[in-house]
Structure 1
Amino acid sequence: MNTAEAKPGSVDELRAHIAGLDQRVYDLQADLANRVVKSRDPREIVEIDVDATGRILEVAINTTVADRVGTQQLAGAVLAAVAKAQADAAALTEQRRNYYLGAPPETQGRGRI
């Protein structure tokens, strides 16, 4: 039974709503499953790829630049690139979640007078 046939407030309407929500969650998971977020540190020494959860998938080092910096600077570049990639992944995940599921109630209406 679809929502057009369900009586308002009925169990069938609730089932249809839950089925729709389940589908949107599935669509969100499928959307995020293959997303890769790339980020670089400000000096472009390191590039980091993370998945939508922020898990590191790949680290690439620009050896032309890395050969001219010390290990402390290289380590700092890695940390900066990871932090940016993970922040970008979190923002992407929130944006996609809002697209599929709507904004969480606590954020709806913000910025309005």
Structure 2
Amino acid sequence: METLMRLMTRRIMRGTGRKLTSQMVVHADGSVSDPVHGRGAGNSRIVARLDLGCEELKLALQYDGSGHLHRSVRDKDSRINAELANLDWHVVRVTKGHLDDVKTLEKVLLDAVRLCERRIAQRG
């Protein structure tokens, strides 16, 4: 499902001029590394390995399949969301329902991009 999400979001993101990177790693010191594409080298504890991320926007997309319904996984996801938010990341949790409805996924993703762009503009 993560591959399907990647393909669907790639099409949606074309019009934004932004790019999402798969398997982006966010570290506790705020640094980002990309072990898949060999970019960056975070030296602190890993907060999250994002299914998709845009470092420029600090936008994270995580696919939540049925395994994320278990309490222990939900609790871990909640801790990760909080830690990413404290590092100024906006996290969008995507489910199969989003992938089944392209218009909903598109709206959620484009709204998230606009939100992140507004946050950047406010920082000046």
Report the TM-score when normalising by structure 1: 0.30
Which of the pair is proportionally richer in strand? 2
> TM-score, normalised to structure 2's length?
0.28
